Amino acid sequence: MDFLPKEIDSYSTDYTQSESELLSQLNRETHVKMLIPRMLSGHMQGRIISAISHMMRPKHILEIGTYTGYSALCFAEGLAEGGKITTIDVNEELTPMAEKYFSKSKYANQIDFKIGNAIEVIPTLEGPFDLVFIDADKENYANYFDLVIDKVPSGGFILADNVLWSGNVLKAEADMDKSTLAIHEFNKKVHLDTRVENVLFPIRDGIMVLRKL
């Protein structure tokens, strides 16, 4: 589902800083080799999360859902000196592509790539995390939030991707499939959580931005 007219979307992309050559290569390879390439953050969203990272200058980022590594590389651009990003993915088949591009980047030593079930991995991580990005299986979004909220300091941020789910969140709850209902319940949950303040950006497929109070 396109939330903006194609002409406006194209104009916005044209007047947004270009992705790096490395990110462009990763973008192309993902579209050629992956079954669902739209899972990639891509040019516009990549520049947005890079800008957020630059504004925050985080020391430690946690990413839940690596896919082919595009978003991790975008977040890494804004890390504070000596900072790192820990990124988790359950799909071992994607490891070679992500690791190839991580190793080609200047952030190779700042990216800690973990393969495993995030529900099991997150409790083993120390934190604190100045910035958390949730972009994995939708049914566990609420669980991921519960697992990371106490590892985020006051003033830290949690971002969650795909919170509009191609507009399916507008359906009646009785007509929602499992993933849509999980996203809808997550949106309601964090909106009512007094530990955070939130704004839902209608960017691409929707990004929920949460600031820990």
Say what the pLDDT of residue 66 is.
97
The pTM for the full model equals 0.95
The answer for residues whose C-beta is within 8 angstroms of residue 182's C-beta and 6 or more apart is 138, 139, 140, 141, 142
**pLDDT of amino acid 35:** 73
pLDDT at position 206: 95
How much is the pLDDT for 34? 82
The pLDDT of residue 1 is: 64
Q: Which domains does the chain have, with CATH numbers?
A: 6-212 (3.40.50.150)
H/E stretch holding 14 reads helix 6-14
Alpha helices in 65-213 (DSSP H): 70-76, 95-104, 118-121, 141-148, 178-192
pLDDT at 68: 95
Q: How far is CA 114 from CA 109, 124, 151, in A?
A: 14, 11, 18
**What pLDDT sits at residue 119?**
98
pLDDT in tens, 3-27: 778 899 899 999 999 999 999 999 9
Distances (CA, A) of 74 to 51, 79, 102, 172, 182: 9, 10, 11, 35, 27
- List of the chain residues with pLDDT < 50: none
For 43-180, where are the E strands, in sequence order? 60-64, 84-89, 111-115, 131-134, 157-161
CA dihedral sign of residues 144, 94, 201, 138: negative
Please give the Cα distance from 182 to 145 (Å, whole number): 13
CB distance 125 to 162 below 8 Å? no
Coil, strand or helix at 191:
helix
Q: What number of other Cβ atoms are within 10 A of residue 53's Cβ?
A: 24
154-184 tens-digit pLDDT: 999 999 999 999 999 999 999 999 999 999 9
